[in-house]
Amino acid sequence: MAERFLVIKDLHVNVEDSPILKGLNLEVGRGEVHVIMGPNGAGKSTLANVLLGHPKYEVTAGTIEFEGKLLNDLKPDERAKLGLFLSFQYPEEIPGVTMENFLRMAKIAQTGESISITKFNRILREKMDLLAMKPEYASRYVNDGFSGGEKKKSEILQMLVLEPKLAVLDETDSGLDVDAVRVVAQGVKQYRSSENAIVIITHHSRILEYIQPDYVHFLIDGRIAKSGGPELIAEIEQSGFAALQSQSGRA
Amino acid sequence: MRKKTQVADVNRSLYDIKDKFEYSFKTDGLNEDVIREISAQKNEPDWMLEFRLKSLGIYHKLDVPPWGPDISGLDIDNIITYVKPKTDLNVTWDDVPEDIKNTFVRLGIPQAEHKYLAGVGAQYDSEVVYHSVQENFRKQGVIYLDMDTAVKEYEDLVRKHFMKCVPPSDHKFAALHGAVWSGGSFVYVPAGIKVEIPLQSYFRSNAPGAGQFEHTLIIVEEGASLHFIEGCSAPKYSVNNLHAGCVELYVKEGAFLRYSTIENWSKNMYNLNTKRAIVEKNGTIEWISGSFGSKVSMLYPMSILKGEGARSDYTGITFAGEDQVLDTGTKVVHAAPYTTSNINAKSISKSGGVSVYRGVVRVLPNAHHVKSSISCESLMLDSDSRSDTIPVLDINNDEVDIGHEAKIGRISDEVIFYLMSRGISEEEARAMIVRGFAEPIAKELPLEYAVEMNNLIRLELEGTIG
Amino acid sequence: MSVVINQPVNTLPVLTYRWLKLNELKLSEPIGIPIKPYSKQFVANLDAVKQMIEIDTGPPAAEIQVLGAGVSSQLTRLSQTSANTGIQIIVPPNTVVEQPLEIAYRLDADDCSVIDNNLIIAEADSQITLIFDYSSAPDAAVVHNGLTQIVAKSGSVVNIVKIQRMQDQAVHFDAVMAEIEPHARVNLIQAELGGKLAVTNYVTNLHQAADTKINSLYFGDQDRVIDVSYLMNHIGRHSTSQLTARGVLKDRARKAFKGTLDFKKGASRAEGSEHEYVLLLDPTVKSDSVPLLLCGEEDVKGEHAASCGKFDPDQLFYLMSRGFDKIQATKLIVEAVFSPVIGEIPNDKLQTVISEVIQRRLAGE
């Protein structure tokens, strides 16, 4: 690959002293959409969290590089400023902090440029319309009292507003009804461009009915067990992860 | 536009006092002669002098509460040192403690030094505001005066209500207040009048002890409404480090009163303040209370829900930092059927500060169909600090619906990570969460106060996180 | 010989407003406790367990340090100096005693006082369950004053069940103190059902990863006065506690619940919770609750919740629409309140006895 966008090499990660990722390798190029699938406990969410530098996840070996920059020792906010974004599987609730305030502050923190409230709110409303979010959500507290679906939409809204270079979507489609999946997919499609990249972490293929990935990887027991094109999705639908697991066990 | 009245809250008795008092000392120095002197200075009616003397008698009989924070730092055996004006003090800007100067500057109060020294700027401002407000009110029959004047001009009204809600026998410092009170605000809102703009306590008289033993008396008649704001977020500095004020609120049938306080006494102050409201049928009292300053606070606004359908809402936040013990909360007595109370108390402790929520909800035997909901949340920012929750539920009727929740904890690492993953620094993330925690109070305040409260929180957090 | 008890009981760990008169319970009159031997057999199944553990009946020979004042220092001292009964147990390491040890005291005109002093030492990784059952003959003016000290060594489990179902003239004072060492657990199930005055006090020191679970029920009717106090001292990291109290008050009964979670500095990752649920059946009852959360450590989770009120009129209507009369419906709802606690008592016969006592009292019999 001519340009090195995201490069993960031999990544080993422990959570509370037990190894979860055990030598994971992954390269993501600009403009690409990657899907990572795998059974529960394989390390999918660990990968998402470690990319943004969650302090609970300890990198014991290996490297993560983004646009040629080593991420290993960077704090989460520093990574965000480099253009990384994580759509959380379980977004946190922050009572007392309004969505619009929070997002404007995040935007200012990331760009280092101040933006007027009026201008920012115009952009925010635009993106909210796109996700069929009612305007009053802007003045509600971040995820506070949101339903599961609303929280996921709020994550996608944040992605659209913050315009990251690399978006990692951790189970963004789980717990959503069909309509919500469609809206979320809409948002992701809107975001997708040749300038950025998306890593979709999921354990079912529903969202992939709407978004065509370039690459599909199976993550099993802390390693990428198999990589290929979209045709792999069909394989998983037919035989399930169990078959793959036993394959990789043999290997 | 920032109102410039904040500076008015700097205790003027520090440098404005012109009269020199001579005292003879007995026991703790507080004696009849002193009280007579205070009363004579004010040229008060005789009944007030008698009231003061009676209070003095009670004061000498009562002991200091055996519960609550340690107030042994108060020289109770020599109480006169707090009562006696410090005429020999010649305060200059240099004498003002460094942290207070900084706060002035960082709160953006312009030319604080200049005004502090001149001692007139803020006063001037408040005079202007006062007069325009006054003119408007006069048409509606609203009375808004400083307390010393009210005693003379509205003698009957004051006499009927003065320390009837908080009797001097309530506790030792209420008795002290009854004996030595000075200054404060008097507000009377006639029936049916809705005062649209929040009224702020502008009054700072030159009377000795004003701002230290000030008395606030508010009467909101039937169907009337008022929002009263006491104090402000600029620090109040006084070398006389005992504050024993008293607030008495009478909320008549169907009336509404919101009483807001953002208190930021200097950190040498013992703030032993008593606030109480008597609420008649279908009346509402709302307490908005932010406690940031003082060395020790014991402050428990109390609502006596006397008439059917009366309601009390308390929203309070307490932020205790280094060397502070802030013991705050609320007391509600449900004395009539169909009364309602809501309590939402939050506290933050950091850098060795101690915050205590102390409260009670009491339902009297005849008070059926009472509803009460109590929520206490405490945030610990480090392990050098303390946070105690001491609530009491005292229920003497079965037709009640009472719910109580208390939680104590820290800022979750997951929430910090969430905010940081959006590009926000750890320090700002923590500040954001703390501000969010305080938001229920901020949103109840007029904008300029809310902004200042947030600034206070920011100042309190600076340098302690990271 | 008898002693006169006059000191206030169950003083709060931190005091609050005096006018509430809840900082301590002042006895309405001095209580005389006769000191004389207790004559009956009181361990039901001694033979079944005595092979497995060291057990002696009678008060302990030596005193161990008490964790607190107990119900009052006067009453604690009384049990230490003048006990007329008691039990001392050492459960050897790794010994699991499956069968609960049943200790039953029946007070009557002859045995009008029980002053027991019990010491239970559970060695590392051992397990034991003890059931204490206090009952009395009708119309007998009797007094029980108890002190039970528990030392749960590392990894051990001690289950204590305390049932008090004495008659209307009885007075009951009971203190339980537990030192819970790392990774040990002490579970307390408590049912306060009788007596004219019942005052109990539980205090525990929780060391690293120690745990205590308290399931408490009280039923107050007529003129009964109930004062229950719990103090959980979280000393060690990862220590945990859960207190659930469920009560029903009827007639002119008065109850004070005092529950304190005290997180000491250094008890990081400790978690404690307290829940109290009180059902009020008559306008003449008095229900006081003082749930304290004391905290000197940042990294803890503490919570308390209480609810207090009549039962839901909709619920009552629903039951009545199904053919229950009001008393039957009340019985059903009260049973639902108590069943989670009663169900935990590892003795079927006692479960039945307790249910019957409650049902009888509800019916006003």
For residue C311, name the pLDDT band (cuts at 50, 70, 90): confident
Mean pLDDT, to the nearest integer, of C180-189?
A: 98
Look up residue C185 and give its two tokens.
Answer: 């657990």
Evaluate whether C224 touches C254 at the Cβ level (below 8 Å).
yes
Rounded Cα distance between B149 and B162, Å, is 14
Look up residue B235 and give its two tokens.
Answer: 């620090």
Better-predicted residue by pLDDT, B136 or C210:
C210
pLDDT of residue B416: 94
Q: Is B416 helix (H, G, I), strand (E, B) or coil?
A: helix
Q: How far is CA A187 from the centre of its chain?
A: 13
Mean pLDDT, to the nearest integer, of B347-359?
A: 96
pLDDT of residue C209: 97
Evaluate whether B226 touches B288 at the Cβ level (below 8 Å).
no
CA distances to A27, A48, B163, B388 from A166, rounded to whole Å, are 12, 12, 67, 45
Rounded Cα distance between B388 and B328, Å, is 11
pLDDT in tens, A126-155: 999 989 899 999 999 999 999 988 999 999
pLDDT of residue B120: 27
Distance from the A92 Cα atom to the nearest Cα atom in chain B, whole angstroms: 6
Average pLDDT, chain A: 89
pLDDT of residue B100: 55
Evaluate whether A182 touches A209 at the Cβ level (below 8 Å).
no
Rounded to the nearest 5 percent, the helix, strand and coil shares of chain C are 15, 45, 40
Nearest to C264 by CA among C10, C69, C13: C13
pLDDT in tens, B187-204: 999 999 999 878 877 544
Q: Do A141 and B436 touch (CB under 8 A)?
A: yes
pLDDT of residue B128: 44
Sign of CA dihedral B141, B142, B146, B152: positive
Rounded Cα distance between A221 and A249, Å, is 9
Rounded Cα distance between A182 and A198, Å, is 17
Residue ranges and CATH numbers for the domains of chain A are 6-250 (3.40.50.300)
pLDDT in tens, C222-237: 999 999 999 999 999 9
Determine C/A contact with 3+ CB pairs under 8 A as the test: no
Look up residue A12 and give its two tokens.
Answer: 């080993």
Better-predicted residue by pLDDT, C290 or A248:
C290
Q: Do A80 and B435 touch (CB under 8 A)?
A: no
Write down the domain spans for chain C: 33-311
Flag whether pLDDT at B465 surpasses 50.
no
Flag whether pLDDT at B99 surpasses 90.
no
On chain A, the residues whose CB falls within 8 A of the CB of B437 are 95-96
- Token pair 């503490």 in the structure block, residue: C302
DSSP letter at B95 equals G
Strands C87-91 and B302-305 come out as unpaired
- Which distant-in-sequence residues (6+ apart) come within 8 Å of A95 by Cβ? A141, A144, B436, B437, B439
Interface test with B, best of A94, A155, A157 (most B CBs within 10 A): A94
Mean pLDDT, to the nearest integer, of C107-134?
A: 96
Look up residue C26 and give its two tokens.
Answer: 């002042």
Flag whether pLDDT at A45 surpasses 90.
yes
Degrees, nearest 5: CA angle C175-C178-C181: 175
Question: Is residue B463 in a domain?
Answer: yes
Determine B/C contact with 3+ CB pairs under 8 A as the test: yes
Q: State phi, psi for B195 to the nearest 5 degrees.
A: -80, 115
Nearest to B255 by CA among B194, B341, B333: B194
Domain end call among B259, B278, B299:
B299
| Top mean-pLDDT range of B122-131, B383-392, C351-360 | B383-392
Distance from the A101 Cα atom to the nearest Cα atom in chain B, whole angstroms: 10
The domain total for chain B is 2
Domain end call among B299, B331, B357:
B299
Evaluate whether B385 touches B416 at the Cβ level (below 8 Å).
no
Mean pLDDT, to the nearest integer, of B369-385?
A: 95
Q: C172-203 in b/e burial notation, b at 16+ Cβ within 10 A?
A: bbbbbbbbbbbbbbbbbbbbbbbbbbbbbbbb
pLDDT of residue B19: 34
pLDDT of residue B88: 37
Question: Is residue B279 in a domain?
Answer: yes
For residue A208, name the pLDDT band (cuts at 50, 70, 90): confident
For residue B242, name the pLDDT band (cuts at 50, 70, 90): confident
Domain end call among B299, B330, B355:
B299
Evaluate whether C99 touches C45 at the Cβ level (below 8 Å).
yes
Dihedral (Cα; B94, B100, B102, B105), 10-degree rounding? -90
Rounded Cα distance between B161 and B51, Å, is 13
Evaluate whether B198 touches B226 at the Cβ level (below 8 Å).
no
On chain A, the residues whose CB falls within 8 A of the CB of B422 are 77, 80, 85, 102, 106, 109-110, 158, 162
Mean pLDDT, to the nearest integer, of B269-291?
A: 96
pLDDT of residue A207: 83
**Gap between the terminal Cα atoms of chain B:** 33
Question: Is residue B365 in a domain?
Answer: no
For residue B441, name the pLDDT band (cuts at 50, 70, 90): confident
> B194 has which bridge partners?
B225
- Token pair 């019999």 in the structure block, residue: C365
Question: Is residue B325 in a domain?
Answer: no
pLDDT of residue A200: 94
pLDDT of residue B125: 38
Rounded Cα distance between B85 and B205, Å, is 14
Share of chain C above pLDDT 90, in %: 83
pLDDT in tens, C327-336: 888 888 898 8
User: pTM for the full model?
Assistant: 0.86
Flag whether pLDDT at B112 surpasses 70.
no
What is the CB neighbour count within 10 angstroms for residue B70? 9
Rounded Cα distance between A218 and B86, Å, is 80
Q: Do B437 and A162 touch (CB under 8 A)?
A: no
Average pLDDT, chain C: 94
Q: State phi, psi for C215 to the nearest 5 degrees.
A: -120, 110
For residue B1, name the pLDDT band (cuts at 50, 70, 90): very low
Nearest to B38 by CA among B149, B181, B222, B194: B181
Q: At what angle do helices A148-162 and A117-130 cross, to 10 degrees?
A: 130
Residue B424 domain boundaries? 417-466
- Token pair 């959980």 in the structure block, residue: C232
Q: At what angle do helices B172-180 and B46-61 cross, to 10 degrees?
A: 150
Question: Is residue B211 in a domain?
Answer: yes
Strands A33-37 and A84-87 come out as unpaired
Rounded Cα distance between C206 and C229, Å, is 17
Rounded Cα distance between B351 and C360, Å, is 56
Flag whether pLDDT at A191 surpasses 80.
yes
For residue B101, name the pLDDT band (cuts at 50, 70, 90): low
For residue B357, the one-letter residue type is Y
Look up residue C254 and give its two tokens.
Answer: 């008065």
Interface test with B, best of A56, A75, A77 (most B CBs within 10 A): A77
Flag whether pLDDT at B170 surpasses 90.
yes
Evaluate whether A2 touches A30 at the Cβ level (below 8 Å).
no
Q: What is the ipTM of this complex?
A: 0.92
Beta strands in C207-319 (DSSP E): 211-220, 225-234, 240-249, 254-263, 271-280, 286-295, 301-309
For residue A101, name the pLDDT band (cuts at 50, 70, 90): confident
For residue B17, name the pLDDT band (cuts at 50, 70, 90): very low
Q: Do B426 and A77 touch (CB under 8 A)?
A: yes
Q: Do B389 and C292 touch (CB under 8 A)?
A: yes
Residue B426, chain A, CB below 8 Å: the answer is yes
Residue A94 has its nearest CB partner, among B415, B417, B428, at: B415
What is the CB neighbour count within 10 angstroms for residue A62? 18
